[in-house]
Chains A and B, each alone.
Chain A
């Protein structure tokens, strides 16, 4: 699917983000990815690796004190006017919808939820009052909320987290956007509700061909929902591959570490640990280390890793930024006969 389309819907290229006035505090150090219509790209990585900053950059909603310092963000071939709030407003929700992590905090406590969905419609679509109302109800129905009339009149504190997240999704979908960015949309929810919300997003994608960027650190979620996965570490993308390929054949030591760090009953049955943690901590955004940012924690690091950041290499379908990809394959061989 990705290869067939010459121009991706959303293309992020060499995105650089830093703390304003502190160019050495580089939060994103050249992030590149693209998404096509009807496709789901997952962005995974440890806390602090820059996933949210990436999504907020695309919305033009970087927090005060953080700014884009380089790279390009293109929607359907056109550069996003992220520094022009007036122009960007016409794109937010209308062309790029966003779903956030904390549904409990995402809605304004003093307005009924129906009004908050209607606000998006009122801003971007010229519909009559009654048509807008009807659209709110049909959206609430579409996201699987029972009794939309009643829900629309409810204040946020009367609804559960799962219900609220459905409302937030209805808000993100209200103007038929081309892209939805979902930043940890299920992290705050119960496991059963998580699955429901992800199924809902997938179903909506089948119905509307919306492109989804799914930000998460839950690899289990990724396995079932994403077409492709981009793995981030320390403000960089370290590996990107189709989901199945990434799970079966990870190339970057960090990706492998992440996969090992997901609870794995099989491995436990084979006598291993349920969970392997990656030792060490993420480097600070101000750390000027010249080479691979994973080197201090990498079991396969060698002298050449410290010199310069490893470039992205490999076939179009499976890119990896590492000087010694899948180094464990060689190690496993030497360890095998004993």
Chain B
């Protein structure tokens, strides 16, 4: 019975995609109402900036944006456009929302991948080391640092990093993604971006790094107490091979699940990190949209993010099946 579902992955895929679409729809509707409840709208914000906040002008703007329609009609329009992958136009930026978001997406994805890699790889290396020397000095040091990273707010870590590495030591730039005055191209550009990315990536990674260290350590200790580890030792293979091949392969399964659920968190964290480091990504765009009351743009970002999270979770679930032969698709 369980074999059949493993051998018919398209049924699993179809089901998961259907659930995913439902989830995105629900997120779109809920966020639509949430943002409607928020005080102020784009018309007020724009009129305020223009300095001509006469009621007539605001009403005119509202009519132009369709903001004078009944809420349910607005929702209907919004969903109808969504169905055709049309996320609307941002009057604030004078650009299609989709174009705006996809222009900023590479920067965010790059930062997110970098911090994800730091958190996962660091979590594995330090977690395995801590488990290998459980309750001895290396473990105690690692566990203490993990606790500190876990307990400290990320924005504070970000500010401290800027203070130490940018201001005092002058090793890294304080903000932005490139050195705008340098006009680097090719390899120099890559190095420049990487240089700018170090601090924001670390800032965003630390909290998750702490979680993953603890998770991997606990998982490894569980696995290391299992019989097959002793059997592996009786084979005469090296301790690192036992750690990284036999034990980690099992301990990494729960990590994968958690990383999957954290992907949304990484995206959410981007707002904060990108703001602190002036990183020109979607998170920063979201922050600006919020201030400009560009609720349509905000909504578009939320819907696209949820689609992204749904998709990545699906990929993680599929990966899980590839890594763990005993799991069945449901």
Pairing of A with B: yes
Residues of the A chain whose Cβ atoms lie less than 8 Å from the Cβ of B233: 59, 61, 92
Contact of A171 among B226, B230, B235, B323 (CB under 8 A): B235
With contacts A100-B227, A108-B228, A157-B326 known, is A93 near B246, CB below 8 A? Answer: no
Residues of the A chain whose Cβ atoms lie less than 8 Å from the Cβ of B228: 105-109
With contacts A61-B230, A100-B227, A102-B227 known, is A109 near B237, CB below 8 A? Answer: no
A110 at interface (Cβ–Cβ under 8 A)? yes
In this complex, what residue of A is CB-closest to B3?
Answer: A158
A149 at interface (Cβ–Cβ under 8 A)? no
Kindly state the separation between the CA atoms of A327 and B239 in the bound complex, as whole angstroms: 51
Residues of the A chain whose Cβ atoms lie less than 8 Å from the Cβ of B226: 105
Kindly state the separation between the CA atoms of A111 and B231 in the bound complex, as whole angstroms: 14
Kindly state the separation between the CA atoms of A179 and B232 in the bound complex, as whole angstroms: 18
CB distance from B230 to the nearest CB of A (A): 6
CB distance from B26 to the nearest CB of A (A): 36
Inter-chain contact A155/B325, CB cutoff 8 Å:
yes
Residues of the B chain whose Cβ atoms lie less than 8 Å from the Cβ of A100: 227, 230-231, 234
CB distance from A27 to the nearest CB of B (A): 17
In this complex, what residue of A is CB-closest to B226?
Answer: A105
**B contact residues, range:** 20 to 34
In this complex, what residue of B is CB-closest to A108?
Answer: B228
Contact of B235 among A102, A105, A111, A119 (CB under 8 A): A119
Inter-chain contact A89/B234, CB cutoff 8 Å:
no
Chain B interface, DSSP helix/strand/loop, else mixed = helix
Chain A interface, DSSP helix/strand/loop, else mixed = mixed
Residues of the A chain whose Cβ atoms lie less than 8 Å from the Cβ of B325: 109-110, 112, 155, 157
Kindly state the separation between the CA atoms of A92 and B228 in the bound complex, as whole angstroms: 15
A267 at interface (Cβ–Cβ under 8 A)? no
User: Quick one: which of A77-118 are within 8 Å of B by CB?
Assistant: 85, 88-94, 97-98, 100, 102, 105-112
Inter-chain contact B234/A59, CB cutoff 8 Å:
yes
Kindly state the separation between the CA atoms of A157 and B323 in the bound complex, as whole angstroms: 15
Give the interface centre of B238, B325, B326 by most chain A CB atoms within 10 Å: B325
Inter-chain contact B231/A168, CB cutoff 8 Å:
yes
CB distance from A232 to the nearest CB of B (A): 21
Residues of the A chain whose Cβ atoms lie less than 8 Å from the Cβ of B77: none
CB distance from B244 to the nearest CB of A (A): 13
Given pairs A102-B227, A157-B326, 5 additional interface contacts (CB within 8 A) = A89-B236, A107-B228, A111-B249, A112-B325, A120-B237
Which B residues form the contact surface with A (CB < 8 A)? 226-228, 230-239, 246, 249-250, 323-326
Which A residues form the contact surface with B (CB < 8 A)? 59, 61, 85, 88-94, 97-98, 100, 102, 105-112, 119-120, 123-124, 155, 157, 168, 171-172
What are some 11 contacts across the A-B interface (CB < 8 A)?
A: A61-B230, A89-B238, A98-B234, A100-B227, A110-B323, A110-B326, A112-B325, A119-B235, A123-B237, A155-B325, A172-B234
